[in-house]
Amino acid sequence: FRDDEDTFKILIATDIHLGYLEKDPVRGNDTFITFDEILDHAQKNEVDFVLLGGDLFHENKPSRKTVHSCLETLRKYCMGDRPVEFEILSDQAVNFHYSKFPWVNYQDKNLNISIPVFSIHGNHDDPTGADALCALDILSCAGLLNHFGRSTSVEKIDISPILLRKGRTKIALYGLGAIPDERLYRMFVNKQVTMLRPKEDEDSWFNLFVIHQNRSKHGATNYIPEQFLDDFIDLVVWGHEHECKIVPSQNEQQCFYVCQPGSSVVTSLSPGEAVKKHIGLLHVKEKKMKMHKIALQTVRTFHMEDIVLADHPDLFNPDNPKVTQAIQAFCMEKVELMLDDAERARLGNPHQPEKPLIRLRVDYTGGFEPFSVHRFSQKYMDRVANPKDIIHFFRHREQKEKNENDLNFGKLVTRPAEGMTLRVEDLVKQYFQTAEKKVQLSLLTERGMGEAVQEFVDKEEKDAIEELVKFQLEKTQRFLKERRTDAEEEKIDEEVRKFRESRKKNTEEEDEEVREAMTRARAHRSEDADAVLVAASSDEELMDTGMKGTGDSDDGFPATVSRGRGRARGRARGARGQNPTARGSSQRGRG
C-alpha cells in the first residue's frame, strides 16, 4: 500500500491498562512508558487516527497520577498543526449522543488536534455511578479523545457507525463498549443487537467493528461467539483478550477477519501474556486492507517455564529426606537459565526495562513437598521484577472417594486455570448451587445476589447488597399480600418458594430488579455525598464565625468557639484546633 489521498492509516491497540501496579517500585511506570511509545509510533507513522479497543485504564476510578500521565501523553502527541485529512459523514449527534459536546474533537474550533483518538470502554474502565460516567468521559470532555460505542439501553442495542471518508475510501466504524458477557450473549440470541448500515452504497464501505468481550469460551454463555456478529463486517478488532494475535485471521463461517492486538502490559503471569507484545498499523484502501505489526520495545520481557517433578524420577525421589533441597537447586538452575535468555533478549534494545518477569510453574504431584517460596525469592530481589511470585507450586487434584459428610471445597469452587479471570458473581452462584439446604437462599436468587456482590466488589457500591435485599423483600411482601396467604409458616414458605422459582425463570424481570436496586444504591450514595457536603459547609460557617471574634478579645487570647462534630460519613473539619477546655466539654452535636 502506498500512502496516498485514498489510503487510511490507522494505529490499533487495546488493553493498555494505564495505572497497573503504579505503586510498585520496579513496575510502577511500565504502562505509562509503553503508552508513550504507542503514541510515538502514531506520530512517526503520520497515522490518520488511533483506534483503541478498551481498557485504557486498569482501574474504574484511576488515580490522579494515572489520569495526569494519560492527559500529558495525549496532549504531547495528539495536538498540533498537522491537518486531519478525512471527513465524517454520519450524524455525530447520534454517534456521540451522550456527550455534552457531540462532535469529533478535531472539528472543535477551540482545539488543535493533529491525531484523533477513538476509543470504546472496556470492563476495567466502564461507566458507573448515578451519572454513568467513566474515565474516558473525562478525556472526551477535555477534547483529547473521542469516546464512542457506548450503549445505554439494556433491552435493545442499535450500533450506529461513525462514517469516515478519505478520497475514494469510506470506512464505517462500529464500536460496542464492554457489556457483561451473559447479558450480551442473551441479547444476541434474542435478536436484540442491530448493526445499522449506511443508506447509500452500503457495499462500498469498509466495515470495521471494535468489541471488548470474552472471545475464548469461559462458560456456557460467558463469551461472545464470532458467528453472532454480522457477516457484512470486513474486520473485527477484538479487545479484552490479552494474548497478542495481531495478524488478522479469517472466520471461515462469517468470512470476516479478526484481529486480536492483545495487551501492551503483562497483567497476569500466564502463558498468553508471554507472547511478544505488538500494536498494529492498518492500511485501508477502498475495500482492501493490510495489517503491519509493530513490536513494542519498552514492554518488560516475560519468560515462563513449567516443571513436572514426577517426569524426573531419576532426579527426584519423594522418599529421599533431602529431595526438597534437590528440587530447590533444580529450580534455581532453571531460573538462572531464564535470566540468561532474558539478558540475551535485551541485547541491542536499550529501551527495554532491565529486570525481567520470570515465572516457573512447578507441578509437585506425586508425594513431593514445596519449599519456602519466600526464602527462594530473596535470592533474586535485585535481578527480577517479580521476586515474590517467581515460583508457582500447583498440584493436580487426585480423585479420591470421600465421606459424604465431608465438605469438598474443591467441588464448592472450581479453580480456574492460571491467568483466567473468575468473577465474584460466578463464585456466589457456585457456592449456593452446591451448598447444603440449611444455608440455601430462600428469598433472594443466586443471580441477583451475585450481581449485587459483583457491584460491591468492582464498583465499590457499598449499599448494593442491602438495597437488593430490601427491594426483593418488598416485592415478596407485596406478592404475599396480593395472594392473601394465610398466616401459617408452611404456607408462607411454600408461596415464597414458588414466587422465587418464577423469578428465576424470568431472567429479564430479574435483571430489571437488579438494575433498580443498583439505581437505588447509587442514589443513596449521592444523598450521602450531599449530606457530607452540607455538614462540611455548615462546619466552615461555624469556623468563619469563630474566626471573626479572634481579634476582639479583651484579654488578648483567641475567643474559644464550641465545635460540633458531624456524623454524616466523616468528622467535621477543624476539630484538631480546638481549645482543650472546649474539647473536654460535653458540647458535641449530631450533624
Taking the C-alpha atoms of residue 282 and residue 7, their distance in angstroms, rounded to an integer, is 10
Taking the C-alpha atoms of residue 477 and residue 494, their distance in angstroms, rounded to an integer, is 14
- 292 noted as active-site residue: no
Extract the C-alpha cell encoding 207: 466495515
H helix runs in 79-118, sequence order:
92-95
Extract the C-alpha cell encoding 72: 500529558
Taking the C-alpha atoms of residue 554 and residue 179, their distance in angstroms, rounded to an integer, is 68
Nearest to 359 by CA among 329, 344, 338: 338
Cβ atoms < 10 Å from Cβ of 175:
28
List the beta bridge partners of residue 208: 173, 235
306: DSSP letter: E
Extract the C-alpha cell encoding 458: 468492582
List the beta bridge partners of residue 211: 176, 238
Backbone angles phi, psi at 312, to 5 degrees: -125, 65
Cβ atoms < 10 Å from Cβ of 452:
28
**What is the three-class DSSP state of 506?**
coil
Taking the C-alpha atoms of residue 166 and residue 105, their distance in angstroms, rounded to an integer, is 17
DSSP per residue, 309-372: GGG-TTT--TTSTTHHHHHHHHHHHHHHHHHHHHHHHHTT-TTS-SSPEEEEEEE-TTT-----
Catalytic residue (choose from 58, 124, 212, 242): 124
Q: What angle do CA 396, 398, 404 make, to 5 degrees?
A: 135
Taking the C-alpha atoms of residue 275 and residue 297, their distance in angstroms, rounded to an integer, is 13
Taking the C-alpha atoms of residue 266 and residue 263, their distance in angstroms, rounded to an integer, is 7
Extract the C-alpha cell encoding 545: 464565625
Cβ atoms < 10 Å from Cβ of 432:
17
Exposed, middle or buried, 375 (CB in 10 Å: 0-12/13-18/19+)?
exposed
List the beta bridge partners of residue 260: 245
Angle, helix 64-78 to helix 30-44, in steps of 10 degrees: 10
412: DSSP letter: H
Q: Which residues are catalytic?
A: 124
